[in-house]
């Protein structure tokens, strides 16, 4: 596995990046059980043409909202350790989320880089004021000295309503993005998108501000999460995601979880279509995740991923295809462990069809025939020379 391949994709503006989100198991989960959970996730997702995975760092976030948390908080295992299991089982790298509310951030970073071998970290600010740990600027400096890193961007902070509540003259999330870009952030991952309007406004302002400063905008990974139940939708809203009333009514108005999640998939595809129609000069990618353990929502992640991927690739107006490749878990490789310096770009080896093989065989036979004829001519000329020389 080339651990740098995901970073290459994330920083390359010419290609979209496709990611799947995953949450670590509960803290205290035995190692064998954690590995089994990981393998089930990888087995379900291996048919999807993703560049890698996002493994989230879930915090209690008691200061996020005055509303009660729809799903009770349970402490989870460290995202770096679990991401290493995902990478080894899948043969694909991970973006590891890390909240800066950690007074031992440097020690965590040592383990993330040296022990687990990760090369991509997403630095996330604290949601609870006064929590321990470095400032955002300090954390970006620490992480950026060791690995490539990205940050989050939140379109809901780029609205007039939010600006008015905070006493700002105008929305300025795009300025936060440029500040983080100046500190070394090489990509951004959005909060879940359910309303395209704030995202479109943020991307346009970010592109214009970057151009005015002579900068190239960094890639933005748009996050999408399907829902099938009122509780899941309530949790998405608790996270700060704007869900238009008509969207909520359309989803919850369906009779069954299967019908509701199918409706949410359709509406999220419409969101991406609306964003792509704007032809915004910012490189994009997608990430799809589930916010619950409900089967209908987990299954819908795969359906949504394929539909969004097709849309973002079709929007490039270039031919495209999906290829497969073999992977082997660590310890099972032929010829030793994976080489990080390998220039493997993650693509499958060329596939040679039967027709191609037949053509190659015919060309080889023709070349052999030409060689035999040339050899015969040389032998004949040598014979004539020998005859006349006598």
Percent of the residues in the chain that have a pLDDT greater than 90, as a whole number: 69
For 306, what's the count of Cα atoms within 13 Å in the CB-facing half-sphere?
9
Mean pLDDT of the residues in the chain: 86
Q: Does 390 have pLDDT greater than 90?
A: no
pLDDT of amino acid 338 = 40
Nearest-10 crossing angle of helices 245-252, 257-277:
150
Count of Cβ atoms closer than 10 Å to residue 385 Cβ? 9
In this prediction, residue 272 has a pLDDT band, given cuts at 50, 70 and 90, of: very high
Query: Comparing 67-76, 150-159, 180-189, which segment has the lowest mean pLDDT?
Result: 67-76
- Topology (CATH level 3) of domain 5-314: TIM Barrel (3.20.20)
Q: Does 101 have pLDDT greater than 80?
A: yes
Query: Residue 158 is encoded by which pair of tokens?
Result: 């780029």
Q: Does 337 have pLDDT greater than 50?
A: no
pLDDT of amino acid 354 = 44
pLDDT of amino acid 257 = 93
**CA distances from residue 126 to 123, 129, 222, 299, 339 in whole angstroms, order as listed:** 10, 7, 21, 31, 36
Q: What is the pTM of this model?
A: 0.82
The answer to whether residues 272 and 224 touch, using CB atoms and an 8 Å cutoff, is yes
Domain ranges of the chain: 5-314, 357-390
In the chain the first and final C-alpha atoms are separated, in Å, by 69
The mean pLDDT value for 291-303 works out to 90
Residues 6+ apart with CB under 8 A from 173: 153, 154, 155, 157, 158, 202
In this prediction, residue 201 has a pLDDT band, given cuts at 50, 70 and 90, of: very high
The mean pLDDT value for 61-71 works out to 64
Q: Tell me: the pLDDT tens digits for 359-370?
A: 455 556 666 666
Q: Tell me: the pLDDT tens digits for 103-157?
A: 999 999 999 999 999 999 999 998 776 678 899 999 999 999 999 999 999 999 9
pLDDT of amino acid 369 = 66
**Cα 279 to Cα 261: distance, rounded to the nearest angstrom:** 28
Q: b/e string for 167-198 if b means 16 or more Cβ within 10 A?
A: eeeebbbbebbbebbebbbbbbbbbbbbbbeb
Q: Does 32 have pLDDT greater than 60?
A: yes
Q: Does 387 have pLDDT greater than 60?
A: no
């Amino acid at each position: 596995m080339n651990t740098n391949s995901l970073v290459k994709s994330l920083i390359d503006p010419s290609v979209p990046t496709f990611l799947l989100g995953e949450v670590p198991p509960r803290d205290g989960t035995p190692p064998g059980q954690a590995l089994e959970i990981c393998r089930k996730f990888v087995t379900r997702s291996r048919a999807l043409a993703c560049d890698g995975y996002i493994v989230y760092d879930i915090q209690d976030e008691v200061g996020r909202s005055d509303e009660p948390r729809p799903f009770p908080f349970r402490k989870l295992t460290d995202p770096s350790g679990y991401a290493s299991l995902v990478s080894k089982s899948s043969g694909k790298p991970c973006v590891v989320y890390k909240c800066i509310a950690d007074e031992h951030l440097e020690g965590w970073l040592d383990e993330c880089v040296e022990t687990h071998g990760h090369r991509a970290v997403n630095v996330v600010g604290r949601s609870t004021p006064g929590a321990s740990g470095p400032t955002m600027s300090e954390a970006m400096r620490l992480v950026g000295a060791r690995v490539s890193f990205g940050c989050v961007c939140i379109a809901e902070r780029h609205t007039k309503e939010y600006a008015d509540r905070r006493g700002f003259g105008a929305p300025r999330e795009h300025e936060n993005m440029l500040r983080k870009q100046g500190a070394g952030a090489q990509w951004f991952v959005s909060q879940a998108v359910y309303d395209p309007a704030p995202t479109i406004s943020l991307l346009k302002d970010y592109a214009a501000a970057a151009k005015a400063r002579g900068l190239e905008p960094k890639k933005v990974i748009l996050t999408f999460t399907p829902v099938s139940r009122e509780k899941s939708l309530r949790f998405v809203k608790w996270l700060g995601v704007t869900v238009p009333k008509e969207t909520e009514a359309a989803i919850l108005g369906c009779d069954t979880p299967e019908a509701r999640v199918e409706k949410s998939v359709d509406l999220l595809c419409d969101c991406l279509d609306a964003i792509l129609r704007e032809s915004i000069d910012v490189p994009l990618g997608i990430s799809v995740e589930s916010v619950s353990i409900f089967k209908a929502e987990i299954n819908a992640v795969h359906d949504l991923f394929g539909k969004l991927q097709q849309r973002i690739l079709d929007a490039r107006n270039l031919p495209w295809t999906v290829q497969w490749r073999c992977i082997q878990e660590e310890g099972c490789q032929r010829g030793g462990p994976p080489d990080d310096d390998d220039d493997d770009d993650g693509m499958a080896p060329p596939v040679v069809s039967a027709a191609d093989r037949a053509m190659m065989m015919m060309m080889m036979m023709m070349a052999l025939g030409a060689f035999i004829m040339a050899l015969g001519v040389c032998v004949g000329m040598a014979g004539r020379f020998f005859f006349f020389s006598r």
